[in-house]
Chain A
Amino acid sequence: AQSVTQLDSQVPVFEEAPVELRCNYSSSVSVYLFWYVQYPNQGLQLLLKYLSGSTLVKGINGFEAEFNKSQTSFHLRKPSVHISDTAEYFCAVTTHQGGSEKLVFGKGTKLTVNP
């Protein structure tokens, strides 16, 4: 079964600093990979996704992620964060099991951007 590990549960950074949120997944087959953001008291919003092709994926709000098949990683980066980026970020991977597909999420990383 697929699993997703987000290596940091909390990441504090200062405004305008770069940030990297790490995500590793376990897989022996091709997968789809996603990053979602959740602002307080809201649902999830898709930041970006990797389906195939170029390993560097650009998303909304200046975020990007790099798919690394050999390291089974899909780290999220932003060169300069804003206070408004404070939120919880979830990495997710599709898994296919017993004829059924589902989305498996990591435990989330809380990003806090300080002034």
Chain B
Amino acid sequence: KAGVTQTPRYLIKTRGQQVTLSCSPISGHRSVSWYQQTPGQGLQFLFEYFSETQRNKGNFPGRFSGRQFSNSRSEMNVSTLELGDSALYLCASSHSPSGRFKETQYFGPGTRLLVL
């Protein structure tokens, strides 16, 4: 079974631009979560999508948005990029029909975003 894939793996953008990251979950998984990892703040939960609906949300500004398609693939968008958005963005998929995080999440390798 193929794992979680994320594209692109590396990205360089400049301040003010917008970026879209993509995540393909493990086949059969309907839940996709996104996380931001930085040296200063560590790992922070962005949001979770299940069956094309945002089900859980972290404490990030509205510049961070996402969506999920009918095939469970998910995209994350960051508008008006700031220097502080430089980070490793991880997505994770799971079965999670309950909406609780007790089901095992499987992480992708991440997209490393550098904002100049």
By DSSP majority rule, is chain A's interface helix, strand, loop, or mixed?
Answer: strand
Known: A32-B101, A102-B56. A107 touches B42 (CB 8 A): yes
Q: Is B49 an interface residue (CB 8 A)?
A: no
A28, CB-defined interface residue at 8 Å:
no
Taking A102-B45, A105-B44, A107-B42 as contacts, is the C-beta distance between A46 and B58 under 8 angstroms? no
B107 and A32 form a contact (CB under 8 A): no
Known: A32-B100, A101-B99. A44 touches B45 (CB 8 A): no
**Interface residue B87 (Cβ < 8 Å from any Cβ of A):** no
Of A43, A92, A106, most buried by chain B (CB within 10 Å of CB) is: A43
Interface residues of B in 82-116 (CB under 8 A from A): 90, 92, 99-102, 104-110
Within 8 A of A (CB), among B1-57: 4, 33, 42-45, 48, 55-57
Q: Are A32 and B102 in contact (CB under 8 A)?
A: yes
Taking CB as reference atom, which chain A residue is nearest B40?
A: A107
Q: Are B107 and A103 in contact (CB under 8 A)?
A: no
Query: Which residue on chain B has the smallest CB distance to residue A51?
Result: B102
Query: In the assembly, what is the distance between CA of A45 and CA of B45, in Å?
Result: 16
Neighbour of A104 across the interface among B45, B90, B99, B106, CB < 8 A: B45
Q: Which 10 A-B pairs have the closest CB atoms?
A: A43-B107, A105-B43, A102-B45, A44-B107, A107-B42, A100-B56, A94-B101, A43-B109, A32-B102, A103-B101
Residue numbers of A with Cβ under 8 A of B are 32, 36, 41-46, 49, 51, 90, 92, 94, 100-108
